[in-house]
A and B are shown apart, each in its own frame.
Chain A
Amino acid sequence: MSDNNPLNSDYNFHEPGRTFFRAYRPGDDFYQHLIDAHRDLSDAQSQKLNARLILLMANHIGDLAVLREAIAAAADDLGED
C-alpha cells in the first residue's frame, strides 16, 4: 500500500490473537464463511445479502479515497453483457 494508492490490495486476512500456521488459512476461512452465508439462498436473496454486505463493509472502511478506488477497481474490465 503506497500513499497515492490508498486501497490495500495485499493479502490482508487475519484475526487478532490467533496464530495461523498456513498463509492461505485466514483467507480460506473468510471465503468459506462467505459461501456458507449464501448456501440455500435464492439468487434474489443472495443479491440482497451482497448489497447489504457491501454497505456494511463500506461504512466500516469509511475512508472515501479507499472506497473510490475500490469501486473503480471493481468496475474495471467488466466485459460484455
Chain B
Amino acid sequence: MSLTYQNPVYEYARSPDQGAAQAVHHPVIVVGAGPIGMGAALDLGLHGVETLVLDDNNTVSVGSRAICFSKRALEVLDRLGCGERMVDKGVTWNVGKVFFRDELVTRFDLLPEPGHKMPAFINLQQYYLEEYMVERLNEFDNIELRWNNKVIAVDDSAEQTRVSVETPDGVYDMTCDWLIVADGANSDLRAMLGLESTGKVFEDRFLIADIVMKADFPPERWFNFDPSYHRGQSTLLHRQADNVWRLDFQLGWDKDPNEEKKPENIIPRVRAMLGDDVEFELEWASVYTFQCRRMPRFRKGSVLFTGDAAHQVSPFGARGANSGIQDTDNLAWKLKLVMDGKAPSRLLDSYCEERELAADENIMNSTRSTDFITPKSNTSRQFRDATLELSKRFDFARELTNSGRLSDTTVLNDSSLNSPDDGEFDSLLVAGAVMADAPVKGGSTDWLLNAFGNRFQVILYIDDIDAFERTTLDALRAMQDDAIPVETVVVYRSGESPAGIDALCDVKGMIAERYDARDGSAYLIRPDQHIAARMRAAGVDKIRQAVARATAQQ
C-alpha cells in the first residue's frame, strides 16, 4: 500500500457495442492502457483517427515501476500534451555519480549544453504519467478508453481483425482494421497470435525498494559498485517525486525472491546503505529478474506491436518506457497516412525497420551495461574492477565505466525513408536523427521543437530576413496544398520579421550551430520530428521527392 499515492479507480462502463447484434467495427483498437498504449491513442487522436483503447484493469500502474523519463520521451509527451506536467511534477536531474568501494570515481552530466526545453531526465513514478495521459485522453472526442475490458481471443485471419473482450457484463466481440498491441512484456496478445519474443535471460536478481524519506541528497543518480555495506554487488539511489527514493540492490541469483521481498529483510539493507539515523518508511518493493529480447518482427499484417510487448531490455539505462514512447511516435503518423490511402502499406514496414533497429541498439546497450555491472566471469570482473580503479586517475577509464548508458535516441541514419544529403553538412543532425531543440522567438513558442510535429514541415533557414527574397518561400508554400501537405517554417538569424511571414528567430544562433544551417539551407522534418532530408538550397522538386521517399512511395 503506497503512503504517498492513492491509485484512482476508473469505473467500468458498459458500452453500447456490448449489446449490438453484430460485432461493432472500429478503425483502430489499442490493447493496453499503459504509457505506450495511451501514447499510441493520443498520437492517433491528434491525427484525427478514431481510436478505442482497451485495458484489463481499472487503474494506473500499481507501484512506481518506470521512474526515469528521458529528454526525448518528454519531447514526445510534450507533443502529445503531457510533457510540461511531467516536468513540473518530476524531479529534474542531469548528473550521475559513480562510486567504487565507497569512493567517487566518476561524474557525468547528461545535458552539458543549454538551450533545450526539456531536461536530460526527470524521475517520476509511472502512475503519475498514466494519470496525466488518462486525463489528456479524456479531452479527445475521437478516443475512447474502456476499463475492465480484457481481450481473451483474437482472430486476424480475415481482412478485419476480430477481438473477443471479457467484461464484468460478459464477453463481446468487435472488429477493427488495425490492432495495436501494447499489453506489456508478458503480452497475452502476442501469445494468442502465436508469436514469440526471444533473447537472453539474465541470471541475477535485483531488489527495488522505494522508500519515503526526507533527505537532502541532491537529485542525482548515484550508482555504487561493490560498496562496503553490500559487498560484491551494486546499488543505486535515485530520487522521485513526493520524497520517494528508489533504492536498487543487486542480490545475486541464489537469493530467494519471496524472502527478500519481506520488509524485515529489506529494512536492514536500507539501514546499511543510508545509516541508522535516517528515518524512512517503505513505500513499495519488488524483486525482479530481467530479460533482453525482442520479437523478430513488430508487424503481423494489420497487427502492430509496440513497447515491452515487442521488445524488452534490462532496466539499466531506462530504455524500456522511453523506447516504447518512441515506438508510437514513429508509428502513428505512418498509420494515419496508410489509413488515408496517401501512403502504401509498406510504410508500416519502415516502422519495423526503424524501431527494430532501435530495439537492437537498446538491447545492445543495456546488455553491455548489465555485463559491466554484473560480470559473469573472473576475467570479466577483473577488467571491470581495473576500469573502475583506473577511473580514479584517468579520463579514458571514466568513459569506459558503464553504470548504465542512459536512454538516448537511435539515429536512423540508414533508414530507407531518408534522402541523401544535397550538399555538405558538418553536423551530426543527419537524415534519420531527431531534431535538436533550440530557443526561438516569434510565433507562439519559445522553443523550436514546439513548432514541429504531426505533419511534414520544412525548415527554411535565412541569415538576414531583411534581405530575404520571397520567391523561394512562395514556391515552397505551394506544397501546403499537396496530397501530403508540407508546411514551410522560416527560421532566421537576424533582422526584423516582415509582416505576413510567420517566422522564428534563431535568437541564440543555436540552430545555425547545431544544424550547420546557412542561408538557404532547408531541412525536411517528419511528423515525428525526425530529419528526413537536408539540402543546401531549398527546392520544391527536391522536397517533394524527399517526402515521397519518407512515405515509402518510391
Contacts and interface: CB of A to CB of B under 8 A. Distances in A.
B399 A27 contact: yes
A11 B379 contact: no
B428 A21 contact: yes
Nearest to B395: A10
Given A41-B379, A46-B378, A32 B368 contact: yes
B411 A35 contact: no
A43 B368 contact: no
B130 interface: no
B393 A73 contact: yes
Nearest to B396: A11
A38 B376 CA distance: 11
B402 A9 contact: no
Given A21-B411, A24-B399, A77-B389, A46 B368 contact: no
A38 B428 contact: no
B178 interface: no
B372 A38 contact: no
B379 A24 contact: no
A27 to B, nearest CB: 5
Interface in A13-57: 13, 19, 21-24, 27-28, 31-32, 34-35, 38-39, 41, 43, 46, 50
B356 to A, nearest CB: 18
Interface string B438-451: 00000000000000
A49 B282 CA distance: 48
B144 interface: no
Interface residues of B, number: 26
B371 interface: yes
Contacts of A77: 389
Given A19-B428, A46-B379, A28 B394 contact: no
Contacts of A2: none
A12 interface: yes
B15 interface: no
Contacts of A46: 377-379
B380 interface: yes
B365 interface: yes
B405 interface: yes
B394 A43 contact: no
A22 B408 contact: yes
A72 B393 CA distance: 13
B383 interface: yes
B315 to A, nearest CB: 18
Interface of A: 9-13, 19, 21-24, 27-28, 31-32, 34-35, 38-39, 41, 43, 46, 50, 73, 76-77
